[in-house]
Each structure stands twice: as C-alpha cells, then as structure tokens.
Amino acid sequence: MRIHIRKERPAAWADRRKETKHVWIIPIVAFEWMWEWIAYALSNWTFLEVLDYLETFSVLIAVIFYFSESGDRVKQRHYQAWQVVNTSQGKGGSGGRIEALQELNADRVPLVGVDVSGAFLQGVRLDKARLLRSNFSAADVRDGKFPSADFSNANLHSTNLRRSNLEQVSFQGADLADSDLTKADLAGADLADATLSDADLTNADLRNVHWEHIANIKNANVFGVKNAPQGFVEWAMKHGAHQQDTGTREPD
C-alpha cells in the first residue's frame, strides 16, 4: 500500500511571481506552479485514497484464494503425474515417468501397485518409496536410488538393477528371479521369502543383508559378492547357486 500524503496548498501565482527575479524563467516557474496545483488537488481527492485501499484489499483477497486453493493445485499436479505413469504402461522408454514418479514420491504419495514394467528408468531416485506389489519386471533401473524403499511382494522379474542403491530395502516376498543385481548395494536389505532364482549377484554388496529366509536362490550367480554375512555363500551354493565369472562385469 502506498502512503497517502496530503500536500500543502501552493502559494498564489502573484506571490510566486514576486519571488521570481528573472523574467526569462517565468514560463518555467509557471509550468511548475501549475503542476503543484494538480498534485495538490489529487492528493486531497479522497477517491484516490479509496483506490489505494481497494488495491491493498484485492492483494489480500488474492493471497487468501491462493492458499485456499493450494490443496487443489497439489491434487491436480498428482493427477497429471499419475496420468503420465498410467498412460505409459506397457511401453518402453521413459515417457516422463522418471520425473512423475519422483514428484509423487517427493510428496510422499504411496506408489503401491504401480506398473512400470519394461520402462527405461535409469537413475531414478525413489528414496523411502512405498512400492509394495509394484511391477518393475523387465524395467531398466540401472543406477537407481531406492534407499529404505518397500518392494514387498513386488514383481522385479528380469529387472536391471545394476549398481542400484538398495540399502535397507524391503524385498519381502518379492520376485527377483532373473534380475541383474551386479554391483548393487544391498546393505541391510530384507530378502525374507524373496525369490532370487537365476539372479546375478556378481560383486553385489551384501553387508548386513537379511538372507536367512530367502525362498529360492537356485541358479543365482554369487560370484565375487562383497561383505557377505557369515555362512551366506555356503548356504547359497548348497541351495543351487553358483559362482561364475561371466566376463560381462562393468568397470567401477
């Protein structure tokens, strides 16, 4: 709001004329004196003061409406993100799904049951995401970031999870058969009732992984696993896993 200052009444022209010592400057003084009267008249016009108050009031109303509608804007943003995810189901490529999933997760929207099978989501970041019963089968999520995410009962069959951050992830009951976990960080991950048959765990970090109740590890490759808990490799080999350097490992 502008500060409304009422101006003092200008001197009469006769008085101003007497103060002017040089004849040649009289037109300039007259011009300025005219504008002083205009400014004086406007400063005392109450209508303009009312307009100032109305302007401030309109700004206040706009602010109130902005915050009152913030919930609707968030819902609209979420709706558009889900549109991107759902209309791309069954299609390859990203199709904007990386940004959409990250935006939803940033707003703590559960991604339970989301279907991104076959999608290209390399480098996606979904910290602490709720991905229960989701379908990531055959998706390419190399270098993905999923610390503390929940993949319980998810379909990760043939998923490319190379070099992904899977620290503290819950894979309880998840299908990780034929998945590529080469150099993945599985520190602290929960693999209870998970299926890892034919999975490639080459050089994966298994520090503090919860492995005792893995459902199936037959034909999984545990070559070069790092920080494996005591007894894990022996148990895996006993239950059908193998150690084979396939020669396809990527450099650090």
CB-based contacts of 25: which residues, under 8 Å, 6+ apart?
A: none
**Per-residue pLDDT tens for 123-181?**
999 999 999 999 999 999 999 999 999 999 999 999 999 999 999 999 999 999 999 99
Say what the pLDDT of residue 71 is: 61
> What is the reported pTM?
0.70
> Could you tell me the two tokens for 32?
């300025």
Dihedrals phi, psi of 63, to nearest 5 degrees? -65, -45
Distance CA 81, CA 99 (A): 8
Give the pLDDT band of residue 89 (cuts 50, 70, 90): confident
Please report which residue ranges of the chain form alpha helices under DSSP H. 13-19, 26-43, 46-68, 70-87, 97-106, 232-238
How far lies 214's CA from each of 138, 157, 173, 196, in Å? 21, 15, 9, 8
Q: What are the CA-CA distances from residue 42 to residues 2, 10, 36, 51, 244 (Å)?
A: 14, 13, 10, 12, 90
C-alpha 38/C-alpha 72 separation (Å) is 48
With H, G, I as helix, E, B as strand and everything else as coil, classify residue 155: strand
pLDDT digits (tens, 9 = 90+) for 184-208: 999 999 999 999 999 999 999 999 9
Burial class (CB within 10 angstroms; exposed 0-12, middle 13-18, buried 19+) of 66: exposed
From residue 19, alpha-carbon distances to 22, 24, 120, 211, 240 in Å are: 9, 13, 84, 100, 111
Residue ranges and CATH numbers for the domains of the chain are: 14-68 (no CATH), 92-246 (2.160.20.80)
Mean pLDDT of 49-78: 67
